[in-house]
Structure 1
Amino acid sequence: MEKKNNALYIVQGVIRSFFLTLGLLVIYSIITYFTKPNPQIDSIYFVVITALSVMYGAIYSVKHIKSRGWLVGLLLAILYIVIIYLISVVNGRGFYISTYGMLRIALALFVGTLSGMLGINM
């Protein structure tokens, strides 16, 4: 029974991460509507959005599970990134991972693991 609840908390963390991502993307789209978009700032903002979303989801999940923080954070980051890339494939971008994409994946895994450890100690 406990493992089922743990999986539920991880899924809830991923869903919360996506809602945070959606909210931050809406804010950014409003900002870029009134200003000229800059590709360099866009890429930095998307990396920051990914990091913040994974951090929030990992801390939320670990606060409820209360054990194996690094593993929960890592699993959440993997699920988040896989779903993001599946959405990209569905939207017609194809399954191409650039060096920027690899950096984003590595950062998400690193942030997820550290956030899981942080969430245990909070």
Structure 2
Amino acid sequence: MEEKGSIICIGQGVVRGFFLTLALLIIYAIVTYFLKSNPKIDSIYFVVITAFSVMYGSIYSVKKIQKRGWLIGLTVAIVYMLVVFLVSAVNGRGFDISSYGILRIALALFVGTLSGMLGINI
């Protein structure tokens, strides 16, 4: 029964991370509607959004579960990135992973692991 609760908390963390992503993307869309957009800034902003969303989802899940912080954070990051890439594939981009994609995945896994350790200690 305990594992089922952990899976639900991980799922809630991922969903909360996606809602944060959605909110930050809407804010960015509004800003870029009025200001000129730069592709280099766009890619940096998307990496930052990914990091904040994984951090928020990981900390939320770990605070609920209260154990195995690094593992829960890593799991949230893996599930989050899998869903992001699946949505991208369905959206027509396919599974083309570039060096930017690998950087984004590595950063998400790193941030998820550290956020899990942070979440267990705060």
TM-score by length of 1: 0.99
Taking only aligned residues, the RMSD between alpha carbons, in angstroms, comes to: 0.3
- The aligned residue for residue 88 of structure 1 is 88
Question: Which residue in the other structure is 1:99 paired with?
Answer: 99
Equivalent residues in 2 for 1:38-117 (5 A)? Answer: 38-117=38-117
Task: For residue 121 of structure 1, report the CA deviation from its aligned partner.
Answer: 0.2
Counterpart amino acid of residue 63 in structure 1: K
Paired with 1:86 and 1:68, the residues of 2 have a C-alpha distance of: 27
Deviations 1:43-92 (A, max 9, x none): 10000000000000000000010000000000000000000000000000
Specify every segment of 5 or more residues in structure 2 that has no aligned partner in the other structure, as ranges.
none
Partner of 1:18: 18
Give the fraction of aligned pairs with identical amino acids, expressed as a percent: 70
Listed as ranges, the gaps of 5+ residues in structure 1 are none
